[in-house]
Chain A
């Protein structure tokens, strides 16, 4: 009896710890595309597993660049970047796919595969992960319904509207239930109702434990997520130089313990 209880206690603390653990950590990260000034400078922050984060900033501030570092499309020029507790800067490229499979991405320019149908585009992460077709059809159908594209299964991206393409991109990013979801302006091309619906999708994913990072200009959207935290970029720097996160106005700050798994 006692041992069972001990196990339960241990599991409780283990889960709590993992929930509170740092999943993304930037330490003095800088990014330089070519010669000239750094696009990102001295970026330091930590994001907690299961958190919901917004990244804002004016156009050209470096939001997409920061997200690219996050989804491993770019290596930082300096600094330390840890994902899931591991330094990914020096990581051998053969180990990158394993990390990337745990990260879902909604690209600012969607990046749908042009010759693939809606169905096949959404199924892509599952196929890359090696799932059999029998385990793919059901979730893909469900996801298409969720983003309101149930009747466009066979449509090519070129025949879809901007908003529809965006929804395909979102469906593709979330279908694999990633540990981290990174979305770059995911509601830029849809009407407010659809934007609300898509945010609902992100929230549902967040409740399942996925850490969400969304770059957006849409401040009203940010205020709809009660527990979300916000980072602001300005000319390649995080505005709060201490590296702690700002909270959207009108919401009490949540605790920011930084346990380490």
Chain B
């Protein structure tokens, strides 16, 4: 007979038959798919933001701009040259660039129009400097002292300070995304718990029979665990595929804006290793939840 052709497959089939509806059924796989879709989107947003933050910090770290306000253009240029020379001599300073007057005019033109090209406008001189990453606070103080000695009216401003509000926003959004992921996983666990309780109640008669034949709690719980794992696997895979599609589409749109800030937030390659771990974790969570839920229910019976 076909039943004994392949004992292992027959045994698996027999186990699956013990509870009705061996295949994906009911709302649970679909609810899990929706949860996974949202969770993966939130996680992707969080990872993208984290990556953006990291890039931003890397780009801004050690960068400062020296501002020199001096009405007389000739004096201003001379002072700028002196400052640049002095700073280049400091060991902590990696690079010094006097921002050309023309570049400044380009930036001001949208506001000032043709006046930006005028030589009489008191435009400050800007000198971009990069400090070596290993520079100490003492080295920074040295830079300040050097600047003050040449021209007390100079101001030095770290780039990181300009973008601090943006960074704070990104950081908040990142933590929000992490919170969402955590909440979604809790909700997924709750859904599985409700489903397992329902399944246990619906199959009460069969479970009683199995029990009276000497089935252990572990044996009975394993039936539910296997069923739940299948449902969660289906939901997780569906959620992952749809979320991946949405993420790639969104990535394209984001890149198309061409904005530097939105361009910062993009999903790094390693994120595609992390994101599939979420449905895998969800499957494990679902199995564990189903098992503990059913075992706790079983422990109330004799």
Where the two chains meet, the residues of A that have a C-beta atom closer than 8 Å to any C-beta of B are 71-75, 93-94, 96-102, 105, 111, 113-116, 119-120, 123-125, 127-129, 132-134, 137
Nearest B residue to A105, CB-CB: B212
Contact B14–A113 (Cβ < 8 Å): no
Contact B14–A133 (Cβ < 8 Å): yes
Q: Given known contacts A93-B299, A113-B206, A120-B14, is B214 in contact with A128 (CB within 8 Å)?
A: yes
Q: Nearest Cβ distance between residue A87 and chain B, in whole angstroms?
A: 16
Interface flag for B118 (CB, 8 Å): no
Closest to B5 in A: A133
- Complex CA–CA separation, A100 to B209 (angstroms): 11
A133 to B15, CA, bound (A): 11
How far, in angstroms, from A94 to B18 measured CA to CA in the complex? 22
Interface string of B7-26 (1 = CB under 8 A from A): 11011001101101000000
Q: Which residues of B contact A120 (CB under 8 A)?
A: 14, 17
Contact A137 B210 (CB under 8 A): no
Whether A133 touches B11, Cβ cut-off 8 Å, given contacts A74-B302, A93-B302, is: yes
- Whether B206 contacts A125 by the Cβ 8 Å rule is no
A111, A125, A134: the one within 8 Å of B214 (CB): A125
Q: Is A97 a contact partner of B209 (Cβ separation < 8 A)?
A: no
Asked if B149 CB lies within 8 Å of chain A CBs, one says no
A129 and B217 alpha carbons, distance in the complex (Å): 13
Q: How far does the Cβ of B196 sit from chain A's closest Cβ, in whole Å?
A: 19
Q: Mark B226-260, 1 if CB is under 8 A from A, else 0.
A: 00000000000000000000000000000000000
Most chain A C-beta atoms within 10 Å of own C-beta, residue among B1, B15, B206, B214 = B214
Query: How many A-B contacts at CB < 8 Å in the complex?
Result: 73
With A132-B7, A133-B4: A97-B14 Cβ-Cβ less than 8 Å: no
Give the CA-CA distance A73 to B1 in the complex, in Å.
Answer: 36
Residues of A within 8 A of B215 (CB): 97, 128
29 pairs, CB–CB < 8 Å, chain A vs chain B: A71-B212, A72-B302, A73-B302, A74-B302, A93-B302, A100-B212, A101-B214, A111-B205, A111-B209, A113-B209, A114-B205, A114-B206, A115-B20, A116-B18, A119-B3, A120-B14, A120-B17, A124-B210, A124-B213, A125-B213, A125-B214, A127-B14, A127-B18, A128-B210, A128-B215, A133-B3, A133-B7, A133-B11, A134-B4
Shortest CB distance A247–B (Å): 31
Of B18, B20, B216, the residue contacting A97 (CB under 8 A) is B216
Q: Name the B residues within 8 Å of A93 (CB-CB).
A: 299, 302
Q: Is B219 an interface residue (CB 8 A)?
A: yes
The answer for the CA separation of A87 and B8 in the assembled complex, in Å, is 38
C-alpha spacing A93/B14, complex, angstroms = 26
Q: Are B216 and A137 in contact (CB under 8 A)?
A: no
A96 to B214, CA, bound (A): 7
Task: Find the B residue at minimum CB distance from A112.
Answer: B209
Chain A's nearest CB lies how many Å from the CB of B209?
A: 5
Q: Which residues of A contact B299 (CB under 8 A)?
A: 93
Minimum distance in angstroms from A67 CB to a CB of chain B: 11
Top 7 A-B residue pairs of the complex, sorted by shortest distance between their CB atoms:
A101-B214, A100-B214, A133-B10, A133-B7, A97-B214, A115-B20, A134-B7
